[in-house]
Chain A
Amino acid sequence: MRAFAELLDRLVLTPQRNAKIRLLADYFREAGDPSRGYALAAIAGTLKLNTVKPQLIRDLLLERMDEVLFRYSYDYVGDLAETVSLVWEPPQQRVASDIPLGEVVERLQMAGRSEVRSLVRDMLDQLDVSGRFALLKLVTGGLRIGVSARLAKQALAEMGDKDVSEIERLWHGLAPPYLPLFLWLTGEADMPVPTMPAVFHAVMLATPVGEGDLEGLDPAEFAAEWKWDGIRVQLANIGGARRLYSRSGDEISGAFPEILEAADFTGVIDGELLVGGTARSNQATGTFADLQQRLNRKTVNRKLLEDYPAFIRGYDILFSGERDIRSEPFQARRQALGTLIDAASPQHFDLSPLVPFSTWEELDRLRSNPPDPVIEGVMLKRLDSPYVAGRAKGPWFKWKREPFNIDAVLMYAQRGHGKRSSYYSDFTFGVWTESDGQTVLVPVGKAYFGFTDAELEILDRFVRDNTVERFGPVRAVRAEPDAGFVVEVAFEGLNRSTRHKSGVAMRFPRIARLRADKLPRDADRLETLQAMIETKE
């Protein structure tokens, strides 16, 4: 438990992705089985444990501590598991010793409802502070450490010097404590054979169209289709098992039962998950904001199913029946996909239409004025391209519509993390609006990238020299009509929001340019943004 607890402590405080991968990989290398497998499960969210209510933890503590002293402590620390781990006093004669994570998990899994209380007490007595913290986070189900399942898989790849797509493919056929997986990663055994047929296959990705990329390419060799603004998914129905995966290989079947139920064909398809209605049912496609109502849920209720019905807009097909057709050309696959979707439920599946075009200029015009607001650009696919995992440059391109732009005024700044911890690099910016007869700035978004290192130096210096107020880590900077800093903010989309004071929320905002040539009074107004939403609607 000590090694796992130390890993958690480090991960929580480490902002850099590569550093997190190294910490994880080192842990997986050094920790033994089955502890490392359970650690992996805890991080990737696949660990099944009977959880314990926070109230029970509190009661256990108050068996031996003054309530007033506990209250002072809890008020100061602010987190129950952390407070209890710190104030817990083992009986005098007990010396802290380690219990391996594997043993902790197995003991908890075997314990009956009535035994849990004394088991947790006993383990708290035995562990040290960090160990107690890790245990409490595990048993209360509150392990939030800023590491995704994807990142954990990347660390496994690094540990075993494998490609992450291999791990993704195996992943859903394996279960904690992942003994065969680690045997393979350490070179002690062959790659495990997945027992579940509907495994995830790494998806094919497109590269963005860069300056001059299309010159010399023949439009006749490419098909174009709209790039829809939903989430990319893979739906598999093989050997009687049905699974829905996100593009990173996370299983999201539980949140979309209607799609799984409708998937009565055999095969694996690739498409965009959207809400609203399919083209075949002649209904409008829902926006990304609508789709968000259905994302990040383990289960779904009837109301959500009715208000935000989900469907898949098919892009590609990997398996037709049980046959792997990834090596066939795009054109042939597309035909197979069309046949499959024709026969499938019209409410839950439609085919992403091709966009006819003959020159790049023509496509460029179409891209800039798409027929549907839920389109964010076009995809270009070579007619002869096989389906290859990963992001190779050449066969597939994505050509996004131009971003939206506004001029906004810097209002607040906060220090960055890691490499940027000495820079003010997280910026909140605002636009002008009328409030109680006065023209004031209202924040409309936050951005922490888009600028170059040289531009960051300029922004950082401005923040340091123009701080007017501090709120903890946040600095308010000078922002008046004639004094302040104007930035050009680029963003992909705009939604109404009840959470923000301005009533609007931007997607992917970034600082596109510094406008030292402009005064804050020349920056945009909130009405401009509101008009953008209305045009869209």
Chain B
Amino acid sequence: MEKETCGPCKPPPPCGEGLGCARIRGRVARNKKRELALADARLPAIFVGMKPDTLLYPAPKGLYCGMGDFYIDPVQPVERALITHGHADHARAGHAHVLATRETLDIMRIRYGDAFCGAGQIAPLGETITVNGVTVRFHPAGHVLGSAQIAIEADGTRIVVSGDYKRRPDRTCRAFEPVPCDVFITEATFGLPVFHHPDDGAEIARLLMSLRQFPERAHIVGAYALGKAQRVIALLRQQGYDEPIHIHGALARLCEYYQNEGIDLGEIRPATLAGESRKDLAGAIVIGPPSAFADRWARRFADPLAVFASGWMLIRQRAKQRGVELPLVISDHCDWAELTGTIREIAPAEVWVTHGREEALVRWCELQGIPARPLHLVGYDDEGE
């Protein structure tokens, strides 16, 4: 088949003029030409409806839908924001109007306080909402509690913004749901063929093994405060670990929220104990945010052994640089096989790749004959994963 991709063409300029901008008009004309060329080649026209990149495109504040006048996961305060999930780089405070799942709104409230936005609107999963004439629907993304993909549709063209997502079973959130679409916007946090996340149960078994080998040391587990920490706890419980688990203060409210949502985390205790009782934490599991465990906070524990639960831990040098002694490869993102598998399963007409190692996933799509391009969105941080 003749390869006719849009290729890695540049995103619209950050001129703020939106659709009126000359570059955008040029692109519309080019797309028209391409469509005609495709028709000439007797290939099916891919987009019968609206051109996807006039429906949704990157702007300085984030991914923008001009027709519906809303942003998805904007990195700066905007009038109207649709939020995929509660991680800080996707869910920021200060938007006038926020549309998100109930859990994501709750999590934003926990993190930023009641005044996190002007007005919040719940988007029930699977229900259609119309925003300025654009159809919007939220579907579970399997990333963390409340995480969603957002499908937007107008004039017969549907784009699915995956947000961050994973395909592994996770007791702490609803599983990813593939949604057929014209354009699938995928994250690429672990978008390199090197990333193959091992079975999370086996990783947790390594932690339990280390507890048996070093019973006199406190095992300090670095885990992202939203999602990863609760998942690690749930996985430990699943393997029958029923000792109390100690947590850093930064995790307390989110763990409590998960428990209230019916996710059983067993007995959770604060790790901020006073004085001599600290020594009791020898042989215990203490969970804290990744930034805390290499900090002064970790000093209070008996001979701490640094553990870190993250997809990055697959790369030995990453673990070594952080001073991690026991890396656990547990990720809330897809690995390479799951990213490519998902693209195959959804079989969109076009793939847009955002935050992460975009170039490799685009290359893979090219090799498969799937039109793909990187979005080059800025402001999304994958280090905390």
Q: Which residues of A are interface residues toward B (Cβ below 8 A)?
A: 6, 9-10, 12-15, 19, 22-23, 26, 65-66, 68-70, 72-73, 76-79, 82-83, 86-87, 129, 415, 417-419, 421-423, 472-473
Contacts and interface: CB of A to CB of B under 8 A. Distances in A.
B324 A73 contact: no
B93 interface: no
A70 B360 CA distance: 9
Given A69-B193, A69-B360, A422 B298 contact: yes
Contacts of B314: 86
B291 to A, nearest CB: 12
Contacts of B294: 415, 421-422
Given A68-B363, A72-B357, A421-B294, A86 B195 contact: yes
A69 B195 CA distance: 12
A13 B319 contact: yes
Contact of B192 (A9, A72, A423): A72
Contact of B363 (A10, A13, A72, A418): A72
A421 B317 CA distance: 16
Contacts of A14: 325
B213 A66 contact: no
Contacts, number: 86
A82 B213 contact: no
A365 B214 CA distance: 50
Interface in B162-219: 192-196, 198, 206, 213-214
B46 interface: no
Contacts of B359: 72
Given A72-B357, A83-B194, A129-B196, A77 B315 contact: yes
Contact of B327 (A13, A82, A83, A421): A13
B42 interface: no
A86 B190 CA distance: 13
B367 interface: yes
Contacts of A73: 192-194, 360
B194 A421 contact: no
Contacts of B193: 65, 69-70, 72-73, 86-87
A220 B176 CA distance: 86
Nearest to A130: B198
A66 B303 CA distance: 46
A512 B298 CA distance: 27
Interface of B: 192-196, 198, 206, 213-214, 294-299, 303-304, 306, 314-317, 319-321, 323-327, 357, 359-360, 363-364, 367
A65 B192 CA distance: 13
Given A10-B326, A421-B294, A422-B294, 9 more contacts: A72-B359, A72-B363, A73-B193, A73-B360, A76-B192, A79-B316, A86-B195, A129-B198, A415-B323
B363 A69 contact: yes
Task: Return the 10 tightest CB-CB contacts between A and B, nearest first.
Answer: A86-B194, A421-B323, A87-B193, A72-B360, A73-B194, A422-B298, A422-B299, A13-B325, A73-B192, A73-B193
Which of B196, B198, B357, B367 gathers most chain A CB within 10 Å? B196
Nearest to B320: A13
Given A9-B316, A69-B363, A79-B317, A417 B196 contact: no
B272 to A, nearest CB: 16
Contacts of A421: 294, 298, 304, 306, 323
A76 B214 contact: no
A69 B368 CA distance: 13
Contacts of A77: 194, 315, 317
14 contacts: A12-B320, A13-B320, A23-B213, A66-B367, A68-B363, A69-B363, A72-B359, A73-B192, A76-B192, A83-B194, A86-B193, A86-B195, A422-B294, A422-B297
Nearest to B298: A422
A69 B303 CA distance: 42
B192 A13 contact: no
A10 B307 CA distance: 12
A26 B314 CA distance: 24
Nearest to A8: B316
Nearest to B323: A421
A72 B295 CA distance: 33
Nearest to B210: A10
Nearest to A65: B193
A69 B364 contact: yes
A401 B315 CA distance: 47
A9 B198 CA distance: 15
A9 B359 CA distance: 30
B359 to A, nearest CB: 6
B247 to A, nearest CB: 18
Contacts of A10: 325-326
Contacts of B317: 77-79
Nearest to A419: B303
Contact of B196 (A6, A68, A76, A86): A86
Which of B295, B316, B320 gathers most chain A CB within 10 Å? B316
Contacts of B327: 13
Contact of B213 (A13, A26, A72, A87): A26
Contacts of A12: 316, 320
Nearest to B193: A87
Contacts of A418: 325
Contacts of A26: 213
A437 B383 CA distance: 43
B356 to A, nearest CB: 11
A175 to B, nearest CB: 30
A72 B194 CA distance: 10
Which of A9, A69, A423 gathers most chain B CB within 10 Å? A69
Nearest to A12: B316
Contacts of A72: 192-193, 357, 359-360, 363
A76 B325 contact: no
B288 to A, nearest CB: 12
Given A77-B315, A129-B196, A22 B364 contact: no
A128 B316 CA distance: 16
A368 to B, nearest CB: 41
A353 B175 CA distance: 80
A15 B325 contact: yes
A86 B314 CA distance: 9
